[in-house]
Structures are given as C-alpha cells and as structure tokens.
C-alpha cells in the first residue's frame, strides 16, 4: 500500500507499523508491518477477530499505547507529519482536536462523576482556549447535531441517567466537537443493541457525508463494514492479510481467512439462511510463538509445504486490492467452482412441523418487586398546567416476563429473539425452573413442572437441560472437564463407574473433544472448547429438551459457526428440541424452525421462521430486521425502519402496548392505553399489534434478494432490490 502512494496526500498513512507488548508470558507480537492509508472523506474499516491487534492500531495512532507496549518501527503520517516523531506535548495537542476517537463501551468511557456537558465541552476548553460557558453553549449544539433530544437539559445530566445509545451519541459529539480531520471509531456499536446500533450507524453515515469526515472504523462485524466503509483492511494476528475496496473484498475475498469469515457468518437472506456454515478450522495462534511462514497456514485448508516455509508478502490481485497469500489466484479459481458445491453438500434442513407437544408455557409471568420507595407524584389539574405535589409510598416492580404463552414440539427448535433486557434469559431460566415464575404454568409433556414434587422435578431435570452464554462463568474453575460431566452422569445415567467413564469419553467425542480433555481445567480451554464442555454437560443427563441461552454470543464468528454446527448436528442425532435464545436474529433464523420475537417481557410476534422474516410483520420485527447490516455488497438495503427514540434505559410503558413509545407506526391513544390484540396472520403465525393485518402486510419487505442469485428479478434494479417481497421466495 505504501508502495503505490495515492495521488492526493492521505489524511493518515500508516506504513510498516510494528508493535509488541511485554507480558508475563513473554513478548506478544501485536502488530507486524501494518500499513494502510485513509484519504480525505474516506472511511477505512479495520477488521479482525479478538487478538488481531485492531485496537492496538487505534491506540498507536492516538499516541496512547501503555508503557508495556514498544513500537519497533514504521511510520504514521498524519497529513504528512509523522506521529511517531512528535513530542508528548504535540501529541496531546493533536489528540481530541485533529484526531479523535470513540471507544467501544459508552458506559465506561464517560466519567460517572461529571456532567455530560462538561465532558463534551472539554476539548474546546483546552484546544480552543474557550471559556467554560462558551464551550458549554457549543456542547449544546453538538449534542443537538448528534440527534439527542433536549440537549439543553442533557448538558447538566450525569452519564447514568442516559441510555447506552444516548451515551454513545454524547461520545460521538465529544469526538466531533473540534471538527477533527480524522475520527477513529473503535467498535463503536459492539456494546449496543442492534436497533440502537442501526441508529448510530445512520448518524455516522450522515455526519460523514455532511462533514466529509475521514474515519478509521474498527470492527469485527463484516455487516457493518459493508454498511459504512469504503475500504477494508483485514487484520489477522497482527498482520494485514487483505486490503481493498469494500465491495471487492466482500464479494470476491482473496484471502482464505477473509473467505472463512464470510462463510462462517449466518446470513438472513433466504438463500443462505439454512445452509450449513463453514467455519475456519483450528485455533487463533499464540502471539508469543507465531507460526513460521504464512501465519494463517495452520488453519488454512489450502496450505501446503511452501506456506509453512515462506513468509507471505502483500501482492496485488486487482487494482487497489492486495492480499498476503501467494496461492490466492489458484484458490479463487478453485473456489468459483467449489463454493456452490460445498454449500450444497449438506442440504438445508427441512423445517420440522410441530409434532407431539413437548413443552407449553401458559401465561407465564415473572415479576420482581423493587424496594419500596417514597416518590413524589403529582396530581394534575385538568385543563391547566398546574399540579399539586403529594407523596405516596410506591411499590415499583419490574415485569421481566409479562404473560408469555409459547409451545415447542418434540424435535422442534423455537428461536427466541430480543434485545438486552427484554426478559428472554429470565424466560429460559423459568422454563427449566431455575427461577420460579410469579404466575402461569410451564407444562412439560402435559405436566405442570412448577407444581412438580421432588421426584417428578428430578426426572424433569434429566430431560430438560440448559446451555449458558458465558464460557468463562459456565464452568466451575476448580473442577476438571471430566468432573463436570461425571456429576451429570452420576445423577441421571445410573451407570457404574466403568460404564460412566466410557460414556464420558463418548460424550466428549460427541461434542468434538478428545477424551484426554477430561483432565483439563476450564482455564486451559479456549472459549469455543468451554462452550463444547457446557454442551457436553447438558447432553450427559440424556435430555430431550435444551434451553440454549445465547450459546454463541460471546464467541468470535469463526468459533460461533463451529458451535452452531455442533448444536444442529446434536439436534438431529439425538432428536433434541431447543429453545434457542439469542439477541442475533441471523443466528436464530439459521437454526430455528419457528421464531418468537420478544420485547419488554412480551411476545410480539411468533411464527414459522420464513413467515416471521417476511411481511406481515410486527413493527418491532421489521425494525429488528432492518437494523441488521448485511455483509453482502451486491444487495442494497434502502428500507430503513427505525424506532422513534433510542430507548431510555428502564422505561417501559406500564399500560397499552409495550412498544408504543418506540413504535414508528403507533396509532396514538389506542396503542398507549389498550394492550394489543393477538392476530393470526397465517396458520401458526401470530402478531400482537393494533394495526390492521392488511397494513402490516403492506409493509415493505426488509430482507433483500440477491440480484445475482436470480431467484426473483427485482423490478427496479439494484437500488430498489430491497423492496421486493421475499416472503414467497423458494428455497
């Protein structure tokens, strides 16, 4: 990249940047010879999984690497000036003024003890020598520009009074307040819900166009790259392995790793929805002992002897498109013919029709009382704005689950999708009776397990299991893998010692782990391996039904694919039923036969996967769908359905439809006061909404059809592809 210098001077031109960290385990090579450049008005994506070194790049450019980091070489030219040669004072003068950054987690990036306004205004005070009052006035404008309501009041608010989305907007306002030449966004939406993420991306897109911003966008999500970036730079274990225009890299990836990232992602579009994922084999390398030759060769399906010996260099494959793989052309040629075959090798699973009823939830509620507090209520006098304050003792409560009825047939997978705090995990735990529901019933094979006696409960425990989200906390750190599985076997299998040992090995092999893993402790396992152990522990009791509570959310995309494939295989081999809980609609749509969409403790839509993903929709389902960025550059998605405000934390309407305050299609008073009716849109497809069915059906389809697949020719070509009705698309 640095070899063919761009014609206009780049805003940022990084070349041969090499950084390492001193750790107790030895020197970790974080970046090696990293190079890229960003032109004025360009957005460059820096893509990689955890450990790829992408955040190190951000810190290096900002001059904020800690004392444990050493920069061994390279240049970072910012408008022609090498950032590495600046004095600390000069760096400080650039930071927050000419180059600014937005970090991943807005909750921790804002100082909890200072008002928002001051935090936004600070760069002006110190870089522009403005008075505090003048800077605060500017801060009000900046907050308004990033779409925050009531900016004048917000200036005096403290971070904990804002929702995550609002906090991230405030951070973006801070980053932009000095009108910088370059903004670095380090995973700016990873900590946010997908609908909020979509709104933040809309904002960034708009700001970028309006201000001609140059951005360095760091992310692990190829969908986001496609949504907002012009150029992509793919990092793997500290090296750039592919670099080129977004459309080219995503549609014709040249490096096997980039290809792997794409094939391991679950997709929403009807063609790829159910096809088997192709994960990247092997494990991320140890950065203290990197493989020789090509750093990717241990995981590469195309590796040969030469790959192990020769270190790779970046070589162009097309104009502006370079790759660090000497076999790239050959692989691509092979891939052209192989890819469709590979995908077709495993036929998409046919949806299970609901057979014998296994589990049924009836009017399930879980209500948490909060501590009583004295609140000041106001008696409004009709017709005037005056009010009389009075005090009352209030018993606030949180309705985590508010009247949920669902059913799961044997062998069926019900996907439960919803954003953080919607109560989906609480529901999962109530179903296996780890939590006691406040009211309603959970029927397993027709028997109410919340009223089950000790013996019945024990039988149920064996038949219904749960797999958890967090690979770190789901295993006891002081017990071996074997001990965790043994306990399940001891409780339910009735096997003697010898038999139990054999069964343990069998189960470990079933989840793809060698028998010798039994002696390992959790801290000796990778995230994916721990998740496999969690699954092994669950199937060891011989269950018929498993609650999968966000089982892949904490994993990198390539590992996620492996675990998803494993779960599908086990389901088919053992005839399991799943309640599959996730915040990620793509993942749910990949594995589930039916989907239930949850919002604020209630189910707003439920039906067969294909029906839920096409109109008629619940407005919330439409919002969710339209928020998910697709990594496919050949589709344009111009249907944007966004919630009205980005949800202030903890404020759920106590009356009417729970979604009415965010719903873009609210009917006003009716939605605010009456709970919505549950309408059957098609057999087995239910929607809880006041809008007439005809209107819901008339909503634009959000999911695109790939033009290249030629399944249905869109009338208006590329741009309007998204408006095509995809509900009847053949699979």
Partner 1 sequence: MAGLEADAVWTPAPPVSRRSRVPATLIWGALIVLVVLALAAAAPWIAPYPYDEMQIMARLKPPSFAHWFGTDDYGRDVLTRTLIGARLSLLMGLGATAFCLAIGVPIGLYTGYRRGRVEEIVMRAMDVLMSFPPILLGLLVLAVTTPSLWKTVLAVGVVYVPAIVRLTRSVTLELAQEEFVLAARARGDGSAYIVLREILPNAWPPIAVEGSLRITFAILLGAALSFLGMGAQPPSSDWGLMISEARAFVDRAPWIALAPGIAMCVTVIGVNLLGDGLREFLDPRMRSGKGS
Partner 2 sequence: MGFYVAKRVATIGVILVIISGLIFVITQGLPGSVARMIAGQFATPDVIAAIEQRLHLNDPLFTQYWRWASGILSGDLGQSLIMERPIGPMLREALANSALLATISIVLLTLVGVSLGIVAAIKHNSMLDHGISVFTFLGISVPEFFWGIVLILVFAGYLHWLPSGGAGNLSAGWGAWASHLVLPAATLTFALIAHVSRMTRSSMLETLRSPYVLFARAKGLPERVVLVRHALRNALLPTITVLAIDIGLLIGGVVVVETVFSYPGLGRLLIFAIERHDLPLIQASILVIAAIYCFANLVADLLYAYFNPKIRYGGTRS
Minimum CB distance to partner 1, residue 440 (Å): 20
- Asked if 110 interacts with partner 2 (CB under 8 A), we say yes
Q: How many residues contact partner 2, by CB under 8 A?
A: 33
Smaller CB separation from partner 1, 438 or 674: 438
Q: Largest Cα–Cα distance of the chain, in whole Å?
A: 84
Smallest distance from the beta carbon of 526 to partner 1, in angstroms?
5
112 binds partner 2 (CB under 8 A): yes
Which option in partner 1, partner 2, none does residue 30 bind, with CB closer than 5 to 8 A by kind?
A: partner 1
Q: Is 105 in the site for partner 2 (CB under 8 A)?
A: yes
Rounded to a whole number of angstroms, the minimum distance from the CB of residue 49 to partner 2 is 21
Smallest separation (angstroms) from partner 2 to the CB of 202: 23
| Position 370 contacts partner 2 (CB under 8 A) | yes
Which residues of the shown chain bind partner 1 in the complex (CB under 8 A)? 21, 23-25, 28, 30, 50-51, 53, 55-56, 59, 65-66, 68-69, 103, 283-288, 429, 432, 434, 457-458, 461-462, 464-466, 468-470, 472-478, 484, 487-488, 491-492, 523-527, 534, 537-538, 541
Candidate list 160, 308, 458, 479; residue touching partner 2; CB under 8 A? 160
Q: Pick one of 39, 52, 56, 109: the residue that binds partner 2 (CB under 8 A).
A: 109
**Cβ contact 626:637 at 8 Å:** yes
Residue 223 interacts, among partner 1, partner 2, none and using kind-specific CB cut-offs from 5 to 8 Å, with none
SS (H, E, C) 208-266: HHHHCCEEEEEECCHHHHHHHCCEEEEEECCEEEEEEEHHHHHHCCCCHHHHHHHHCCC
Q: How far is the CB of 730 from partner 1 (least distance, A)?
A: 41
Q: Which of these segments, 88-96, 328-336, 515-523, 598-606, binds partner 2 (CB under 8 A)? A: 88-96
Nearer to partner 1, 107 or 158 (CB): 107
Q: What is the C-alpha to C-alpha distance for residues 428 and 425, in angstroms, rounded to an integer?
A: 5
Partners of 221 in the β-ladder: none
Our finding on whether 165 is near partner 2 (CB under 8 A) is no
Q: How far is CA 79 from CA 8, 13, 319, in A?
A: 10, 8, 24
Output the CA–CA distances (angstroms, integers) from residue 207 to 100, 188, 200, in the order listed.
14, 15, 10
**Coil, strand or helix: which one is 467?**
strand
Position 130 contacts partner 2 (CB under 8 A): no
Among 111, 313, 473, 573, binds partner 2 (CB under 8 A): 111
Query: Which of partner 1, partner 2, none sits in contact with 97, Cβ below 5 to 8 A by type?
Result: partner 2
Q: What's the min distance (Å) between Cβ of 374 and partner 2?
A: 5
| The pair of three-digit structure tokens given for residue 130, joined into one six-digit string | 């403005």
**CB nearer partner 2, residue 89 or residue 383:** 89
Q: How far is the CB of 660 from partner 1 (least distance, A)?
A: 33
Copy the structure tokens of residue 270. 């009807």
**Which residues are CB-contacts of 97 (< 8 A; sequence separation ≥ 6)?**
123, 127, 178, 180
- Which among 122-130, 537-545, 660-668, 687-695 is the span making contact with partner 2, rule CB under 8 A? 122-130
140, with CB counted inside 10 A (0-12, 13-18, 19+), is buried
The region that residue 726 occupies, defined by phi over 0 for left and psi between -120 and 50 for alpha, beta otherwise, is alpha
Cβ neighbours for 478, distance < 8 A, ≥ 6 positions apart:
521
User: Cβ–Cβ contacts within 10 Å for residue 351, how many?
Assistant: 16
127 binds partner 2 (CB under 8 A): yes
Residue 647 contacts by C-beta under 8 Å, 6 or more apart in sequence? 163, 165, 193, 195, 196, 662
Starting at the edge strand that comes first in sequence, how are the strands of the sheet with 26-38 ordered?
A: 26-38, 12-23, 69-78, 81-82
- Of 57, 62, 598, 729, the one binding partner 2 (CB under 8 A) is 62
Restricting to residues 456-475, which ones interact with partner 2 according to CB under 8 A? none
Which C-beta is closer to partner 2: that of 124 or that of 417? 124
* Core vs surface per residue 33-54: b (16+ CB within 10 A) or e: bbbbbbbeebbbbbbbbebbbb
Task: Give φ, ψ of 56 to 5 degrees.
Answer: -60, -40
Q: Token pair of 55, please?
A: 């955040």
Residue 460's H or E segment, with its range, is helix 454-463
Nearer to partner 2 (CB atom), residue 158 or residue 326: 158
From 201, 231, 191, 196, select the one nearest 41 (Cα to Cα).
231
Own/partner pairs, 620-623, CB within 8 angstroms, 24+ separation: 620/659, 620/662, 620/663, 621/597, 622/699, 622/702, 623/195, 623/664
Q: 257 is in the binding site of which of partner 2, partner 1, none (Cβ under 5 to 8 A by kind)?
A: none
Nearer Cβ to partner 2 (63/542):
63
| 326 interacts with partner 2 by CB under 8 A | no
Q: Which of residues 622-661 bind partner 2 (CB under 8 A)?
A: 649-650
Contact between 101 and partner 2 (CB under 8 A)?
Answer: yes
- Selection from partner 1, partner 2, none that 127 binds (CB < 5 to 8 A by kind) is partner 2
108 binds partner 2 (CB under 8 A): yes
Binding of residue 338 to partner 2 (CB under 8 A): no
Tell me the C-alpha distance between 75 and 56, whole Å. 15
Residue 126 in the binding site for partner 2 (CB under 8 A): yes
Dihedral (CA of 447, 451, 453, 459) sign: positive
Q: Which does 432 bind (CB under 5 to 8 A by kind): partner 2, partner 1, none?
A: partner 1
Q: Which stretch binds partner 2 (CB under 8 A): 370-378, 503-511, 589-597, 629-637?
A: 370-378
Q: Closer CB to partner 1, residue 353 or residue 524?
A: 524
Nearest CB to partner 1, comparing residues 278 and 432: 432
Residue 55's binding partner, choosing from partner 1, partner 2, none, with beta-carbon cut-off 5 to 8 A by kind? partner 1
CB of 604: closest distance to partner 1 in angstroms?
Answer: 27
To partner 2, the closest distance from the beta carbon of 671 in angstroms equals 26
Tokens of 356: 């014998």
Rounded least distance, CB 348 to partner 2, Å: 43
Residues, the chain, total? Answer: 731
| Cβ contacts of 292 within 8 Å, gap of 6 or more | 308, 309, 311
| Cα separation, 90 vs 112, whole angstroms | 29
Nearest 5°: phi and psi at 88? -55, -40
- Of 146-154, 277-285, 315-323, 366-374: span binding partner 2 (CB under 8 A): 366-374
Residue closer to partner 2 (CB basis): 174 or 332: 174
Q: Which of 473, 504, 502, 474 is nearest to 487 (CA)?
A: 504
Q: What is the contact surface with partner 2 in residues (CB under 8 A)?
A: 62, 64, 92-97, 100-101, 103, 105, 108-114, 122-123, 126-127, 158, 160-161, 171, 174, 370, 373-374, 649-650
């Amino acid at each position: 990249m640095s070899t063919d210098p761009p014609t206009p001077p780049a805003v940022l031109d990084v070349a041969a940047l090499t950084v390492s960290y001193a750790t107790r385990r030895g020197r970790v090579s974080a970046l090696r010879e990293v190079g890229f450049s960003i032109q004025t008005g360009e957005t460059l994506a820096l893509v990689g999984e955890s450990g790829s070194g992408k955040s190190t790049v951000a810190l290096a450019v900002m001059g904020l690497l800690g004392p444990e980091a050493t920069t061994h070489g390279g240049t970072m030219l910012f408008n022609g000036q090498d950032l590495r040669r600046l004095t600390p004072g000069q760096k400080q003068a650039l930071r927050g003024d000419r180059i600014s950054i937005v970090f991943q987690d807005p909750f921790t990036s804002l100082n909890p003890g200072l008002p928002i306004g001051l935090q936004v205004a600070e760069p002006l005070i110190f870089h522009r020598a403005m008075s505090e009052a003048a800077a605060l006035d500017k801060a009000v404008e900046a907050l308004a520009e990033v779409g925050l309501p009531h900016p004048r009041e917000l200036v005096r608010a403290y971070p904990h009074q804002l929702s995550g989305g609002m906090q991230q907007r405030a951070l973006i306002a801070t980053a932009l307040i000095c009108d910088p030449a370059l903004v670095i966004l380090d995973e700016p939406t990873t900590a946010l819900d997908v609908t909020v993420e979509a709104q933040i991306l809309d904002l960034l897109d708009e700001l970028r166009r309006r201000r001609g911003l140059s951005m360095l966008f760091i992310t692990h999500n190829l969908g986001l790259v496609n949504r907002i970036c012009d150029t992509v730079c793919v990092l793997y274990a500290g090296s750039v392995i592919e670099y080129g225009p977004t459309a080219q890299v995503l549609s014709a990836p040249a490096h096997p790793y980039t290809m792997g990232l794409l094939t391991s992602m679950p997709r929403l579009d009807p063609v790829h929805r159910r096809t088997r994922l192709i994960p990247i084999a092997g494990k991320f390398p140890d950065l203290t002992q990197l493989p020789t030759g090509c750093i990717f060769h241990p995981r590469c399906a195309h590796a040969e002897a030469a790959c192990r010996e020769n270190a790779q260099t970046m070589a162009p494959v097309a104009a502006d498109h370079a790759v660090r793989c000497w076999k790239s052309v050959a692989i691509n040629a092979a891939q052209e013919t192989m890819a469709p075959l590979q995908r077709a090798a495993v036929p998409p699973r046919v949806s299970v029709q609901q057979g014998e009823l296994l589990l049924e939830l009836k009017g399930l509620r879980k209500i948490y009382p909060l501590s009583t507090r004295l609140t000041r209520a106001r008696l409004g006098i009709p017709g005037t704005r005056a009010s009389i304050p009075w005090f009352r003792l209030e018993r606030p409560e949180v309705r985590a689950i508010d009247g949920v009825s669902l059913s799961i047939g044997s062998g069926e997978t019900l996907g439960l999708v919803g954003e953080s705090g919607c109560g989906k995990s609480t529901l999962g735990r109530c179903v296996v009776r780890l939590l006691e529901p406040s009211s309603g019933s959970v029927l397993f094979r027709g028997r109410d397990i919340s009223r089950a006696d000790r013996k019945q409960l024990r039988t149920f425990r064996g038949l219904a299991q749960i797999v958890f989200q967090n690979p770190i906390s789901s295993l006891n750190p002081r017990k071996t893998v074997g001990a965790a599985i043994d306990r399940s076997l001891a409780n339910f299998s009735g096997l003697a010692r010898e038999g139990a040992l054999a069964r343990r090995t069998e189960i470990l092999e079933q989840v793809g782990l060698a028998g010798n893993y039994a002696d390992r402790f959790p801290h000796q396992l990778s995230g994916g391996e721990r998740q496999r152990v969690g699954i092994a522990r669950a199937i060891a009791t011989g269950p018929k039904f498993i609650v999968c509570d966000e089982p892949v959310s904490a994993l990198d995309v390539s590992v996620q694919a492996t675990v998803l494939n494993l779960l599908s295989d086990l389901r088919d081999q053992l005839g399991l039923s799943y309640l599959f809980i996730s915040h990620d609609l793509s993942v749910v749509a990949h594995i589930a036969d039916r989907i239930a969409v949850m919002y604020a403790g209630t189910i707003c839509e439920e039906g067969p996967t294909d029906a839920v993903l096409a109109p008629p929709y619940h407005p919330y389902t439409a919002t969710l769908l339209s928020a998910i960025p697709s990594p496919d550059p050949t589709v344009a998605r111009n249907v944007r359905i966004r919630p009205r405000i980005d949800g202030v934390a903890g404020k759920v309407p106590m009356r009417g439809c729970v979604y009415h305050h965010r719903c873009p299609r609210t009917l006003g008073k009716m939605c605010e006061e009456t709970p919505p009716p549950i309408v059957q849109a098609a057999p087995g497809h239910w929607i809880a909404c006041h809008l007439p069915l005809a209107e819901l059906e008339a909503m634009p389809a959000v999911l695109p059809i790939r033009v290249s697949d030629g399944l249905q020719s869109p009338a208006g070509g590329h741009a309007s592809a998204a408006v095509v009705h995809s509900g009847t698309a053949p699979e």
